[in-house]
């Protein structure tokens, strides 16, 4: 197993951590929107960690592309960078607790959709790349 192949495996595995984490943050924020008892500091910390997982995913993807000098699947990098921009924009927009809750919910749902689409649209090229890197 080469370093490139192991990075690809980490990138693929981390994508599911990112998807599930953002889905959980989204569900929690949706429930907190209706139930004030669920609005706690832990919600914001969890949402922050879920958003940070997007940055980790993008860094892993950039490392794979730069190390192996490969072309990534169409729109794959675009989704990662849009997710980062959405994360930052929602943080800048939210000034009060109600707006933060709504922005966190929208962000988490968007990231979930975006991540699942990126994962599903790149499954075959990732397997092909893994086979190619394994032969090196």
Question: What is residue 39's three-state secondary structure?
Answer: coil
Q: Which residue has the higher pLDDT, 16 or 120?
A: 16
pLDDT for 78 equals 79
Tell which residue, 100, 95, 93, has the closest CA to residue 39. Answer: 100
Per-residue tokens: 120:
């599903």
Give CA–CA dist 114/25, Å, rounded.
15
Per-residue tokens: 13:
């595995």
pLDDT tens string 42-93: 988 998 898 889 889 988 888 888 888 777 777 777 777 777 777 666 666 6
Within 10 Å of residue 3's Cβ, how many Cβ atoms?
Answer: 13
For residues 55 and 63, the answer to whether their CB atoms sit within 8 Å is no
Give CA–CA dist 88/22, Å, rounded.
15
Give CA–CA dist 3/113, Å, rounded.
30
SS in 3 state form for 113-135? HHHHHHHHHCHHHHHHHHHHHHH
pLDDT tens string 84-111: 777 666 666 655 555 666 666 666 666 6
């Amino acid at each position: 197993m080469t370093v490139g192949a192991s990075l690809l495996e980490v990138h693929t595995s981390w994508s599911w951590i990112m998807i599930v984490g953002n889905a959980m943050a989204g569900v929690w924020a949706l429930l907190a929107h209706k139930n004030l008892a669920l609005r706690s500091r832990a919600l914001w910390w969890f949402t922050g960690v879920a958003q940070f997982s997007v940055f980790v995913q993008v860094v892993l993807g950039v490392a794979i592309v730069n190390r192996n000098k490969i072309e990534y699947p169409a729109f794959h990098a675009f989704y990662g960078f849009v997710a980062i921009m959405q994360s930052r924009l929602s943080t800048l927009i939210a000034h009060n607790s109600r707006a933060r809750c709504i922005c966190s919910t929208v962000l988490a749902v968007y990231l979930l959709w975006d991540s699942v689409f990126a994962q599903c649209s790149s499954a075959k090229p990732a397997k092909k790349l893994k086979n190619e890197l394994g032969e090196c």
